[in-house]
Structure 1
Amino acid sequence: MPTSLLAALSGAAFGLSLIVAIGAQNVFVLRQGLRRSHVLPVVLVCAVSDVVLISAGVAGLGGILDRAPGVATAARVAGAAFLLGYAVLAARRALRPAEVEGLEAERGTGSRSAAVLTALALTWLNPHVYLDTVLLLGSVAASHGDLRWWFGLGATTASLVWFTALGFGARLVAPLFARPGAWRVLDGAIAVVMLAIAVGLLAGI
């Protein structure tokens, strides 16, 4: 097997190990997929963002970020604040779904622009993106020497496949959410996940 292909497969496997873990971004993509709401732009935002971040890591940007700890701290605070707000909204959907749906319709928070902005915030305000995708993945890619860009190609391909499968594949389990009660359980779980991540971010400062 060509060494370039081996490097690409290594990048795909390593990239998936970082992406597949349950997090704020994945939960949001899953919910949009279940609702069949603006799935394509949300998937594109997440995938393209990963391409940019992975490319930055492979190019060596991680070394610069490693010497600027203030950037990570600022990202933690901003990310925690956003996630706390999202957790509150998810909790309200779980407790009073009809009221929140009416409020969202009134404010237009179910629009494409709102979905895209939320996806951007969940991606770029998450400090783990910089620690894992840029620093860690970039370091592993560097260990492949001249084949590091093949490693990066594998990681970006894995990211594209994952977000596409998560967003568009969610419809396969949509029948499970035919009852409003199932959505309340999902939103309650989302609130807990978002809150836990936010607390974890603040605890790491």
Structure 2
Amino acid sequence: MLPSVLAGLGLGFSLIVAIGAQNLFVLRQGIRREHVLAVVAVCAISDAVLILLGVSGVGLALQAVPWLLVAVRGAGAAFLLGYALLAARRALRPSGRTLHVDANSPSPAAGAVAVRTRTGLAATVATCLALTWLNPHVYLDTVFLLGSVASTHGEGRWAFALGACLASVVWFTALGYGARYLGRWLDTPRAWRIVDAVIAVVMLVLAVSLVLPH
């Protein structure tokens, strides 16, 4: 059982630790310290559901309906493009970001803290769900690939699934709560404009990659 758990843990980490729409969103929310627990929970639970579906054999059944993945790819590309445009707009027109200076601070620079418009919980969760479930790569990695590898472990496939789910929990928790330590370098409107610009470029590249011939 332990070897299967470790195998699932290792493969899970190797697939999830990569720059993608979901990871960028978790990182951004962690830096902003907005609804981090909810975002981490949505990502980890979603991954667990997809992993369990793959291990249960759903991935093999879905191979009989290839049009479904095409539909998801198109919807995901449209959503990522929209998210890229919103990030680009924030980078070009950073409305809602001003500097609040603490009057008790010995110097304005030391007391300057970036103030950002806070996004509601419902909107944050909805965006996180879309970035997760409209991403075809999530299905390829969890439902198909992890499901296929898990089947090679025979009776230990559920232990393998446990390891993969554990990898998701550890990664998203570390990413979401560890990102706050980057806040010291992102306490100015200019820094956040750069962050949003990078997010816009990555989301645009991902959107284009989804519609290109595979």
Same fold, TM-score > 0.5, yes or no: yes
Alignment partner for residue 48 of structure 1, among 36, 42, 45?
45
Tell me what 1:90 maps to: 87
Alignment partner for residue 110 of structure 1, among 112, 116, 119?
119
C-alpha distance in 2, partners of 1:195/1:15? 26
Tell me what 1:144 maps to: 153
- Aligned residue for 1:98, secondary structure, equals coil
C-alpha distance in 2, partners of 1:136/1:100? 42
Indicate how the Cα distance of structure 1 residues 173 and 100 shifts in structure 2: closer, same or farther if over 3 A, else same: closer
**Equivalent residues in 2 for 1:119-158 (5 A)?**
119-158=128-167
Tell me what 1:34 maps to: 31
Shift of 1:178: 1.1
Higher helix share: 1
Deviations 1:108-158 (A, max 9, x none): x81000000000000000011111110011000001111011100000001
> TM-score normalized by structure 2?
0.89
Tell me what 1:188 maps to: 197
Aligned residue type for 1:130: Y
How many residues align structurally? 197
- Aligned residue for 1:21, secondary structure, equals coil
Shift of 1:99: 6.0
1:17 equivalenced with 2:14 (yes/no) = yes
Identity of aligned residues (%): 61
Alignment partner for residue 54 of structure 2, among 47, 57, 73?
57
Please say if residues 97 and 189 of structure 2, whose CA atoms lie closer than 8 Å, have aligned partners that are also in contact. no
| Structure 2 segments unaligned to the other structure (5+ residues) | 99-115
C-alpha distance in 2, partners of 1:22/1:178? 23
Shift of 1:172: 1.3
- Aligned residue for 1:42, secondary structure, equals helix
Q: Which runs of 4+ in 1 moved over 2 A?
A: none
C-alpha distance in 1, partners of 2:96/2:160? 48
> TM-score normalized by structure 1?
0.92
| Structure 1 segments unaligned to the other structure (5+ residues) | none
Q: CA RMSD in A?
A: 1.6
Deviations 1:156-187 (A, max 9, x none): 00100100111111111110101221111111
